[in-house]
A and B are shown apart, each in its own frame.
Chain A
Amino acid sequence: MDNDIELLDRYMAGDSAAFDELVKRHQRHLYSLIYRMVNDHDEAADLLQKTFVKAFLSVSGFERRSSFKTWLYQIAINLTKNFYRDKAAFERVSLDDVVIKKNPKTIDSMMERQERRMLRQAVAALPHKQRLTVILRIQESKKFEEIAEILNCSVGTAKANYHHAVEKLKKMMKGQE
């Protein structure tokens, strides 16, 4: 992370190569997080670009208490949250709907495409912080300490969100084994 700070200082001194390096260094993991939230490439690409624009235009607001990467995550998450709020077309599917639609198959059949789609819907139906916690913990392999920092909550809250989310998702699989 020290390297990020050095690059930031160079960028603020007018070094455009440092800017390019910062974007290239963080674009993939940010895109991955955003994509998992919105499930659409075009939207994810747009939100990724907006994340960097917002970060660099307000770089003076980065107080360097956390890592630059964590700060970028926070910006991306806020923008994604606004995207959900502003996008009326994005209708969240209730977990109950997902459970009703499911087929009484075995766990093996859950690996099928239809079940994967239902799982994505179930994740999308989770409350915002629970969904983020699941994505960060399981799909982005973040530690609870990192998740707590990104979501600005305690480690205990992050763990509680994770366990609540997993329990809800498990309901979808109920009776399938």
Chain B
Amino acid sequence: MTCKRDDIKNLLPFYTERRLPEYQLIIVEAHLDECQDCRKEAALLKMLTEERVPEPGEEFWQEMPERVKAEMEREMTSQPGTGGRGLFRFPGKFIQPRLAWSLAASVLALFVLWGVLFHYRAGTHRSASVSPEVFLEDDYYSASSLAALYEAHDMEAISAWADAGLKEMYGQMEMVLNGMDTDMYEDIFGLSARELERFRTLIDETSAMSKTS
């Protein structure tokens, strides 16, 4: 029959570890004398308590920090597509997301600004399909809507600029990856998955526009 004395059962682990104060020890032992169920439980707990974990040796403990470091480095540098939290895969390597995000945002912002300025400068000889008046009256132009306004030679110039911008971005990422710009590591974990996804989209759009031009 199962004993319902939860107060005793709660003390049994301490009893098997010999950690009960004298007054509780007397109470528990008196109960065990008359309760077969609790005696079984005490015997079971004793067996479990006595189950020892084999000692792997001092060398094992000493080496563990280095093993962990080596595995962390391997995870961060040599496993495409399996980066941990805060890491983001880009052209075969991992980059710092906050750095990547800021670089991408800068590239895109400069790209759009360049496009607007180019239109002001070249607006007088732009094709008739888009009138300067319409262009100037609009308050906001996305990168894609600007692209629709460009002629072929404009897009070539934009493409060349975007290529150069991306090369520069890659260069900065390489510096981080090679440990030459370690300060940026402080930012590594700051971005959310949504921000990373947005960054990915921006890069894809920029690359696609370069190719289609």
Contact = CB atoms under 8 A, between A and B. Distances in A.
Contact of A19 (B16, B44, B65, B189): B65
Interface of B: 2, 6, 9, 13, 16-17, 36-37, 39-41, 43-45, 47-49, 51, 53-54, 56, 60-61, 64-65, 67-69, 71-72, 75-76, 84-87, 182, 188-190
B44 A166 contact: yes
B75 A57 contact: yes
A111 B13 CA distance: 18
A163 B3 CA distance: 11
A24 B65 contact: yes
A20 B61 CA distance: 11
Given A32-B53, A60-B86, A177 B36 contact: yes
Given A23-B64, A27-B64, A177-B39, A57 B44 contact: no
Contacts of B53: 31-32, 35-36
Nearest to B60: A45
Contacts, number: 103
A102 interface: no
Contacts of A134: 48
Contacts of A137: 13
A61 B44 CA distance: 39
A60 B189 contact: yes
Interface residues of A, number: 46
Interface in A104-138: 107, 110-111, 115-116, 119-120, 123, 134, 137-138
Nearest to B185: A14
B60 to A, nearest CB: 7
B68 A23 contact: yes
A173 B44 contact: yes
A24 B61 contact: yes
Contacts of B47: 110-111, 115-116, 119
A60 B85 contact: yes
B6 to A, nearest CB: 8
A23 B66 CA distance: 10
Given A16-B69, A24-B61, 19 more contacts: A27-B61, A31-B53, A31-B56, A35-B53, A35-B54, A36-B51, A41-B54, A49-B68, A52-B64, A53-B71, A53-B72, A57-B76, A57-B86, A110-B47, A111-B47, A123-B48, A141-B17, A173-B43, A177-B40
